[in-house]
Amino acid sequence: MSSNFSIFKIGVGPSSSHTLGPMLAGNLFCKKIVKRLNEVDRIQIILYGSLSLTGKGHLSDKAVIWGLNGLEARNLSAPVQEEANKNALEKGKINLCGEKELKFNYEKDLIFSKDFLPLHENGMQIKAFDVKNEIVEEETYYSVGGGFVLTAQELEKRGKNSNQSTMKLDIELNNAQQALDFCEKNGWDLAELSYNYELQFHTKEEIRSYCLEIWEVMQEVYYNGTHPTEEYLPGKLNLKRRAKGMKERIAMTADPMGMIDFISLYAIAVAEENASGAKVVTAPTNGACAVIPAVMLYLKNHTVGFNDEQAINFLLTAMLIGSLYKKNASISGAEAGCQAEIGSASSMAAAAMATVLGANAFKACNAAEMAMEHHLGLTCDPVAGLVQIPCIERNAFGAIKAISAARMAMTRQSTPKVGLDEVIETMYETGKDMNYKYKETSLGGLATNLKTVC
């Protein structure tokens, strides 16, 4: 059992599992090898499964290189990324852990393997060799979604139910029913429950400043998305960025349905930033990073009284719901399809919106349930391996569904038949049954049928 702060991370686009995760794996390998750098002569990286199949579009190759250069997501900037790319791809060198310059042959030392490793769809290996070509150190990493990385040993040990530590806490949150029971007993809503849960790991000040920083970065990303420096997104789709133009056009319309246009704008602006490889907040993944900010911006700009306190409550609720998906199912498109990414984000946003508008825990869980129920079966088929089509627009639909689910749950008079735990279980089973072609491999769906691109 641990804090849920890791559900929201400041990272880089376009993908938490395929960009942030591989970068973190590079950082972890640096920590492992840093005391033996004098022995290392060469580094080899092997990307497997989905990381290999969609790795170039998701920048997985470059991300591992950034990580091995000792760069960290929080402090990345475009010029620093560019320099590391140029060194590795053009000048044939890598600055291992930021401390030792090595020769690096991108074609030979970075391998895109067609194989899948046994424990997860997103596997990778990093190996360090000495001058005699003998292994100094090696590790197998799995990027399990949302920017989380585990070694093979850790993943094997974890199993599906063993990510609960033996540490005994007053508040244990393993499933939605447990959350509802705590709320009923204490008269809490979900935000209060999450706050009290987090107090077991952080001080009041830390909770507040963490949430406000996340909210500030989300707003900064929206601003950047509506003030882009480039007209087109990177990659072979040659996709024109739409948020800036949308913002100008929406401002001129008096259409009564304009509210939906605003929500789409918020989501598209943030998702385009992610697609460009810029700084975003994973929420709970990069592909789905725009759903939650879009709903928060809707509340801030189009409802009365959405202030910092409400933003904190929103994020606390959302991270609690996100943690239930992470513990009991998946937040990885490569593991369970897009329902695990956009569906989870929509479910988190629905519960959070309902809570800040006054819903009790039961109604908020119903909002979360509905938002996921109507994402079940959603496949992950990113065209050309880029987090652009269908991902960018899909964030807008995820946000609109979240708002709809929150409103439906709040006005509901009847007792819901489906519980949140049941829908989480269903999502995971559906994801496991889903053909691998539809789980972030770009081997099916729109990724293969869009003839004009491929």
At closest approach, how far in Å is the CB of 424 from ligand SF4?
17
Residue 65 belongs to what H/E stretch? helix 60-68
For residue 372, state whether it binds ligand SF4 (rule: CB under 6 A).
no
At 221, is the secondary structure helix, strand, or coil?
helix
For residue 235, state whether it binds ligand SF4 (rule: CB under 6 A).
no
At closest approach, how far in Å is the CB of 270 from ligand SF4?
12
For residue 150, state whether it binds ligand SF4 (rule: CB under 6 A).
no
At closest approach, how far in Å is the CB of 282 from ligand SF4?
11
For residue 342, state whether it binds ligand SF4 (rule: CB under 6 A).
yes
Long-range contact list for 130-133, CB < 8 A, 24+ apart? 130/39, 130/40, 130/41, 131/41, 133/42
Tokens of 208: 């507040």
By beta-carbon proximity to ligand SF4, the closer residue of 62 and 300 is: 62
Stretch of 168-176, 309-317, 319-327, 335-343 lying at the interface with ligand SF4 (CB under 6 A):
335-343
At closest approach, how far in Å is the CB of 439 from ligand SF4?
8
By beta-carbon proximity to ligand SF4, the closer residue of 296 and 447 is: 447
Q: Of 142, 440, 441, 447, which lies in the binding site for ligand SF4, with binding defined by CB under 6 A? A: 440
Whether the Cβ atoms of residue 160 and residue 144 lie closer than 8 Å to each other: no
For residue 341, state whether it binds ligand SF4 (rule: CB under 6 A).
yes
For residue 335, state whether it binds ligand SF4 (rule: CB under 6 A).
no
With CB under 6 A as the rule, give the number of residues binding ligand SF4.
Answer: 13
For residue 331, state whether it binds ligand SF4 (rule: CB under 6 A).
no
For residue 343, state whether it binds ligand SF4 (rule: CB under 6 A).
no
For residue 316, state whether it binds ligand SF4 (rule: CB under 6 A).
no
At closest approach, how far in Å is the CB of 389 from ligand SF4?
9
- How far is it, in rounded angstroms, from Cα 275 to Cα 391? 9
Stretch of 120-128, 143-151, 175-183, 386-394 lying at the interface with ligand SF4 (CB under 6 A):
386-394
For residue 322, state whether it binds ligand SF4 (rule: CB under 6 A).
no
- How far is it, in rounded angstroms, from Cα 242 to Cα 286? 19
Stretch of 151-159, 180-188, 361-369, 382-390 lying at the interface with ligand SF4 (CB under 6 A):
382-390
At closest approach, how far in Å is the CB of 420 from ligand SF4?
21
Length of the chain: 454
Q: Of 147, 333, 343, 431, which lies in the binding site for ligand SF4, with binding defined by CB under 6 A? A: 333
Nearest to 337 by CA among 328, 349, 329: 329
- How far is it, in rounded angstroms, from Cα 356 to Cα 358? 5
For residue 423, state whether it binds ligand SF4 (rule: CB under 6 A).
no
Q: In what order do the strands lie in the sheet with 110-112?
A: 110-112, 42-47, 123-129, 135-145, 148-151
For residue 394, state whether it binds ligand SF4 (rule: CB under 6 A).
yes
* Strands annotated E in 187-262: none
By beta-carbon proximity to ligand SF4, the closer residue of 408 and 446 is: 446
Partner residues linked to 123 by β-bridges:
142
Partner residues linked to 43 by β-bridges:
128
In order, the DSSP letters of 70-91 are T--GGG--HHHHHHHHHIIIII
**Could you count the other beta carbons within 10 Å of the beta carbon of residue 366?**
26
- State CA 96 to chain mean position distance: 27
Tokens of 220: 């900064």
By beta-carbon proximity to ligand SF4, the closer residue of 23 and 84 is: 23
- How far is it, in rounded angstroms, from Cα 47 to Cα 106? 13
For residue 292, state whether it binds ligand SF4 (rule: CB under 6 A).
no
- Cβ neighbors of 8 (< 8 A, separation 6 or more) are 214, 281, 282, 283, 284, 315, 318, 319
- Which pairing describes strands 110-112 and 100-103: parallel, antiparallel, or unpaired? unpaired
Q: Of 390, 405, 423, 428, which lies in the binding site for ligand SF4, with binding defined by CB under 6 A? A: 390
For residue 273, state whether it binds ligand SF4 (rule: CB under 6 A).
no
Stretch of 28-36, 164-172, 276-284, 384-392 lying at the interface with ligand SF4 (CB under 6 A):
384-392
For residue 380, state whether it binds ligand SF4 (rule: CB under 6 A).
yes
**What are the two backbone dihedrals, phi and then psi, of residue 100, each rounded to the nearest 5 degrees?**
-135, 120
By beta-carbon proximity to ligand SF4, the closer residue of 26 and 57 is: 57
Interface residues with ligand SF4 (CB under 6 A) are 287-288, 333, 338, 341-342, 380, 382, 387, 390-391, 394, 440
